[in-house]
Each structure stands twice: as structure tokens, then as C-alpha cells.
Structure 1
Amino acid sequence: MLDVAVIDSPGAAEASLDPVRARLLAALAEPGSATSLAARTGLTRQKVNYHLHALEQHGLVELVEERRKGNCTERILQATASSYVISPAALADVAPDPDRARDEGSARWMLALAARLIHEVGQLLAGATAARKRLATFAIDSEIRFATAADRAAFAGELSDAVTALVARYHDETATGGRPHRLVIALHPSLKPPDAGTNQQRRPSPPEPGLTEES
């Protein structure tokens, strides 16, 4: 089972978004049969089998083993991943294009970059998995608390200058056998934690003075 799998098929995306099938996918983090899933979910075995067939058809669950029980064969299935991300390729006609309107200060452009990242890394990961090779990637995740909006702007400027200098130092357009790599860096306000003792979802922090908020 993979930690994360990228869904790029419209049919698989539709199957995964069905509430009942999403419950079955979550339940199949551990191997199970239609009978055991029916007992856990309160659904009939026939209904579970119907949904499992759809999930298996789209590669979201896979057969682990078959067990003989009297005159019957019990199929044991497991989800192909513990979590899934839907690629913009599943909505190819309306997928965002970050090259359409470049704007480093736009949150929507950041979302377009993130969508492209999911699509491209998903394709690369699928190819590497099929070839049984490791995909060379690198990521940093950090959180910074700025005292003022001016500090945030200064940080963004210094970061941009540092990255530009590093790119200029290491980029070699004429390198024989060299391979291009995409670099994406994002900076955005962190979500507030939910209020203690409530089930309230996280909500964005209000914009700081001097920062723009898109409508």
C-alpha cells in the first residue's frame, strides 16, 4: 500500500468522491472482505460488493488474497493507498494554468502552481513506481511568525533574491545530460487551530495590515 496516490482519471475521481465509497476506502486501510465491511458500515453485503467492484475497477482497491469458506470464496481487498489526492488532470478541460496569468502576489496563482505540482509529481511518481525507481525530490515545510507586515515583505524580498542567486549559480542550460527541475516556493498565512472544545473547522487568519486580500 502506498502512503499517497494521485488520482488522475475522471472515473476514479468520481468513484472516490462518492461518500459511501470513500467510507469503504478508509475502512480498507486494513484488508477486509465484503462481509466484514458490511458489519462495520451497516450496509448490506450486496451493496458493499457493488461499491467494491467500482473501486476495484478504477484501481482504488486491490485483491490481497482469496479464502475458501465452504463452497464460497471470500475475496480480501485492501485500498491501494492510505490517502488520495485528485489531480487537476481529472478535470483537464478546466484545470488551472499558472502560465496564463503570472502574479506572484496572487493566492489564486499559488493554487494554480499547486495544481500543476500535483499533476506533474503524480505523473513522475507513477512512472518511477512502474520502473521501480526512486524519484529524486526535495521539499521544505516550515512556519514563520512575522511581527509586522513589513517584516513579511522584507522576508519575501530576501527570499526572492536568495533563490534568484542560487538559480543563477546552478542553472546550466548547456549541461550535457542535465535534467531540468521545477522549483516552487509558497508563503501564505497559516490556518488558525479550531477553538478548544468545539468541532469548528480551521479558518484562515484575517489579512495583516498592508497585505492585500483577493476578492
Structure 2
Amino acid sequence: MFGVELWVVGVVATTLMWVSYVGIAATLLRGLLEGRQWATNHLGMATALIFATCAAGHGMHTMHALLPVTGTDLTLGSAARVVFGDPRLVVVNVFAGGVAVWYLSLRNRFKLIWRGSALFDDMRERQERALDINDSVVQNLSQAKLALDQGDRELALELVDETLDDSKHLITEILGEEGSELAFEAGEIHRPDAADLSDATDGGGSS
């Protein structure tokens, strides 16, 4: 492969995995520690430790292949190079190394998830959010519908306005104030299949 031995390519790819896994594990652990979830968020801690142990394993394999450079344990080093030189393993390691680097690079796009370990939010927090939405949005919309059914359009509009304000407040709490570190950048959050109001209106009028 252009004068480079296959085992060298395998070692480079494994080194990328090792560095990326160390970075991922450190980022997740930092988020869990800063969020004080390290003792309660078992899924998050287990995931961080999986990346840490994988990093340790790939690091040891890389060191084995480099042992001949130091002149120690030539037998183990030569055996490791033979394994790293397997073309099938080289393909797997190159692909896995690329995926690891890509995964680590995503932290720049999804800072809120990485920084707060929101990828592993506690179930308690999710339940609290669901209750907030129920109390502030669902209940108000139910009352607005009831007001419309009773012909009280003014009260219905008042409840809808109140629900919009509450919804904006909830979204701000979850995503952060505009311009803050917790806020998503423009275009980072959207619904690809957003409803077409004109279609909904046409459909409602034809029924």
C-alpha cells in the first residue's frame, strides 16, 4: 500500500480509535461529574466506562505492535504486527477509527448533549418535564377547547395566548436563552416533516 506496510496502517487506525475513545470517555465522565449524576446515572456511567475500557484495550494493542521499536519483547511485537497486517482487520480498523473520530467531532454540534450528559438524562428529569408540559400546555389547551365548545371565544383565545407564553418559557428552560452556551445554534434543531398549515386548512374545509 504505497510502500507502507499494512500493519502500520492498522496501528495508525487503532491509535485514532484509542485517542477518540479517551476523549469520548473523558467528556462523558466530565459531564456526569459536573451534573452530579455519576452515582445515580448508571447508564451514563456504564457507557463512559465502556469507552474507557475500549480505549485501554486499543492502547495496549498498539503498544504491543510498537514493542520492537524499543527492542523489548520482539516475539510479542512481531506477533502483534502480523495480526495488525491482516487486510481484513486493516479495513475494519480504518472504518472503526473513522467512526470514532466522527463521533467525537459531533460534540461541537451538540454541545448541550455532551456538556450536560443530556444523552443520558435521568428518568426523574424526563418525568418532571412531562409533568411541566402537561400542566402548562395540555391542561390549558383542554380548557381552551372546552371554552370554544361552550361558545366563549374570548376565553379560548386568552388560554391559547397563555399556552404559547408557557410553551416558549419551557423551550427556553430546556434549550437555553438565545445566545447562551446552552442554546442550540440556528438550524441545529428542526422538524423535517413540519406540518403544512395550508394543507391542514384545506383538509379541514373539505370535510
What TM bracket, shorter-length normalisation? under 0.3
Q: Which has the larger radius of gyration?
A: 2
Greater RCO (Cα-Cα under 8 Å, separation 6 or more): 2
Q: Which has the larger share of helix?
A: 2
| TM-score for both structures, normalised by structure 2 | 0.22
